[in-house]
Amino acid sequence: MTIQTNLTGDDWRAFLRFTQRRLMGGAAAKLRLCLALLGFAVVFGLLVNVSKSKIDAGSMIVGALVTVLWLAIIIRLQARRMRPATDGIMIGPHSITLDDDGVRDRARLRESLVRWEAVRAVQVTAAHVFIVVDNHAAFIIPRRSFSSDTEREQFVSEIQKRSGKVAA
């Protein structure tokens, strides 16, 4: 079974968001992070109170805002540097084939084969099918690449059958 697709920068960004959500663990992880930050603030407040130190609340707030802004800028710059080149191997037309050996990806500048044993999961989202092969690697197939929901379901079913992994 072969699917023709044309990956865009938006597809790449969707994959990055998907990976981030997978690795962060969803809402439970965000709740744990918020609780940890709250705990840190309480401990910090108690230490300041016990030490009888005088801390200017305005300076502390400005310092926290500057730190958050600095981190946001650094993260944006890193994300921008990680974008795939428009003339590279990620963006553009791809042909994804499921065969006896594994998942084949043919693009203008490369061809690859990932054996079925390497497939870790197949994830279906609102806009994509991701064939996950490592923590930060997957075949990205936009839903627009399928002519119908039935074709997409057959494609996912074939991956499940050959890899032994159930779609999530």
From first to last of the 168 residues of the chain, give the pLDDT tens digit: 899 999 988 888 888 888 877 766 666 666 777 777 777 777 777 776 777 777 777 777 787 788 888 888 887 788 777 777 777 778 889 999 999 999 999 998 889 999 999 999 898 989 999 998 988 888 999 999 999 999 999 999 999 988 887 766
What is the rounded distance in angstroms from the CA atom of residue 58 to the CA atom of residue 63? Answer: 8
Side chain identity at residue 122, one-letter code:
V
pLDDT of the residue at 145: 93
Return the structure tokens found at 144: 């627009």
Q: Which residues pair with 6 in a beta bridge?
A: 93
- Threshold 0.85, pTM exceeds: no
What is the rounded distance in angstroms from the CA atom of residue 21 to the CA atom of residue 14? Answer: 11
Contact 94, 6 (CB under 8 A): yes
